[in-house]
Amino acid sequence: MSLYYFRISHGRYSGAADLGSEFESRDDAWAEMTKVCANLVSGISRSLKQNAQWQMELLDEAKKPVFRIRLTAESLDQPL
């Protein structure tokens, strides 16, 4: 089993987890990350500002990113 950590940028839950989670495989870690992200996204999207970004990363034992999910809000009607 491998140890992974969640890290969130921006918002109420920003920062890296102090306690890791063990998973049998990278696929299992990815599956858990998508479940956690799905539970958070509705609340995050309600408070996300224009032209802002929220992201969640899954870090390995060395705290290097393995996976990243981003939610980006872009205003497309602003002149260049």
Instruction: Give a three-class secondary structure readout of the chain.
Output: CEEEEEEEECCCCCEECCCCEEECCHHHHHHHHHHHHHHHHHHHHHHCCCCEEEEEEEECCCCCEEEEEEEEECCCCCCC
Q: What is the mean pLDDT of residues 29-46?
A: 91
Predicted model pTM: 0.79
Q: pLDDT class for 46, splitting at 50, 70, 90?
A: confident
Residue listed under structure tokens 């049998």: 24
